[in-house]
Amino acid sequence: ANDELDIKTLESGWSYHWGDVSYNNGWEMQTAEWKDLAVFDDVPGRSNDASILWLKLSLPAGHWRDPYIFVDSIDLTVQVFENQKMTYEFGHISLAGLSQFQGWPWHLIPVMNADKPTELYFRIYSNYPFIGLSGEVVIGEKSDLLQRVYKRGMTGMVFIVILFVAGILVTTLGIIKRERRIALSTGLLSFDLVLMMFAENELSQVILNEPLIWRYLAAFSYFLVPFFLGLVVREWFSGVVRRIALLVCIVTCTFVAGVIFASVSLDVSFIHAYGIFDGLFILLVLALLIGCFLRREPLSFQDGLVIFGILALFLSLLMDMFSAYNFLFWIAHAGQWGLVFFTLAMLTVYLAKDRDQQVSLNLLMHSLEKQVAERTFELTESKKQLEQLAQEDFLTGLLNRRSFVDQGKRELANALRHHQPFALVLFDIDHFKNINDNYGHGVGDKVLEKLADVAKRTSREGDLVCRYGGEEFVILLPQSNTNDARSFVKRLHEALNNISLMVNNGERICITASIGIVIFEQFIAHGEDNHIYPEVDKLLEFMLSQADEAMYEVKDSGRNGIKERAF
């Protein structure tokens, strides 16, 4: 890029002089003792009290139209002289050689007479451990240099935008998903990093030429990184690391409060805090990382991603730090990659967490639905059972009296509507009392069960078989004419007579029954205006009483027989 744009790195032609040299009352540069400087950003032989360094740059003649020298950064303030005139000043260095920190912007220093060999003198002030020029020092056309610095700034802006968008995404998603604390802590950290990166970006200086303000913003957002990182870790992890994270937050806040107090009350510039903070930063983030690994539970994929993010952030800031201390060569945007990795890792974790929640929510819904379906099925079943129990006679399982009356009335109404004949059979076991008395109630029950079984099997599907009283049974036969009813009652009589039950002593019990039958065929044939019983509601009652009477006639005439009444 340097070749394309005709930009040259200024590697040679430098010499230095520690301490001030008179330039105001007589130009003493020629008499001052200059030593050759191989690398301009690491000037040897500084004594403890030296806060002024002079640098001399011998420039050969060049063919420039509008030549400028670009310097990445200067510690801390500078005056530049050419032809015994000050041509550039950043900050103000007094005659007595005192100055104040003004921020760390990049510099474009004009070169007035570049068409012939010229000498440039840099009067640099610093009460900071570092003094001199740092980063890149190049010469070129002003427009080329600006183009380069803007390009670099724009690259940085891409990282900033990614970080900003990721921050907004995480925060919004978190708020929607009601995970405010994780969302806010991650969002705050992202926005803190955005502020730090923007304040340090080349373009911030173009937007507002106030390097000191940008430095304040950059410094305090940097100092607060462990605090927000601590918040994220606290929200994300459980166990001992939460306590470590709390400690990290407290230490960071105390540090920031101390820096503010020192710069306001003790008039100590906050840039001195950088050196202390860099060490503290390493300790705090290491503590957080170790804390993350101290957990008893195994690390999940998401935990791993969070740790990876913190590690990337840590390494990138470490690289930035090292390059600032000249341990590493100047790496532009080294740190920014780490920040982007961190935010993207957090975003991925967040989305993964969101997906997991969705999946477990679906699973939960599924199992809930299943449980509800099972319970509903059980309830319906028990309801059915209860309904059946309410209709059944508990001993024989036949219809009980109440449900027989209900269903019987419905059947009769149907029969009348469709003009179909029907019959009703009522029977009673003869001398049942004797069975109870002779063999016990249990045997009596067995006889009743057996009898119910026989009655059920003898009748048809649609017949209503009911245990009407103790040993009294009723069967309603819908759609049965006289013939059907007679043949049924005959079959029933035989079946009942055939019942035999073996008791314990080997004796056989046989039973007989007295049966009354009422047949309604003529009534139906003559229509509902029949004078005998027009009221449908009372029809069943009437049939029952008629059957009862018929049955008692059998009893009176010696039992074990059938009596019929027809209407």
Catalog residues that contact ligand GTP under the rule CB under 6 A.
395, 428-433, 436, 441, 444-445, 448, 470-471, 555, 559
Task: Tell me how far apart the 2 most distant CA atoms of the chain are, in Å.
Answer: 161
Tokens of 94: 């007094």
For residue 471, indicate whether it is catalytic: yes
Helices (H), 418-521: 432-439, 441-458, 482-497
Preceding amide of 5 cis, omega within 30: no
Nearest distance, CB of residue 468 and ligand GTP, angstroms? 11
Specify the residue for token string 């005998």: 532
| Exposure string for 63-99, b = 16+ CB within 10 A, e = fewer | ebeebbbbbbbbbbbbbbbbeeeeebebbebeeeeeb
Q: How far apart are CA 188 and CA 450, in angstroms?
A: 84
Q: How far apart are CA 378 and CA 376, in angstroms?
A: 5
Count of positions (residues) in the chain? 567
The neighbouring-strand residues paired with 9 are 138
Residue 492's nearest CA partner among 545, 433, 423, 436 is 423
Preceding amide of 76 cis, omega within 30: yes
3-state per-residue secondary structure call for 507-560: CEEECCEEEEEEEECHHHHCCCCCCCCCCHHHHHHHHHHHHHHHHHHHHHCCCC
The neighbouring-strand residues paired with 369 are none
Give me Rg for the CA atoms of the chain.
53
Which of 374, 437 has the CB closer to ligand GTP?
A: 437
Residue 500 identity (one-letter amino acid): S
Tokens of 475: 């069967």
DSSP code of 82?
E
Phi, psi of 337 (to 5 degrees): -60, -45
Q: How far apart are CA 307 and CA 293, in angstroms?
A: 9
Q: How far apart are CA 72 and CA 106, in angstroms?
A: 5
Helix (H) or strand (E) holding 461: none
Tokens of 7: 């930009």
Four-residue CA torsion sign, 7, 12, 15, 18: positive
- Strand ranges of the sheet holding 464-467, from the earlier edge strand across to the other edge: 464-467, 472-478, 422-429, 513-520, 561-566
Residue 226's nearest CA partner among 304, 273, 289 is 289
Which of the residues 471, 472, 521, 564 is marked catalytic? 471
Residue 274's nearest CA partner among 206, 331, 230, 320 is 320
Q: How far apart are CA 554 and CA 274, in angstroms?
A: 120
Which of 228, 432 has the CB closer to ligand GTP?
A: 432
Q: How far apart are CA 356 and CA 350, in angstroms?
A: 10
Q: Which residues are catalytic, by number?
A: 471
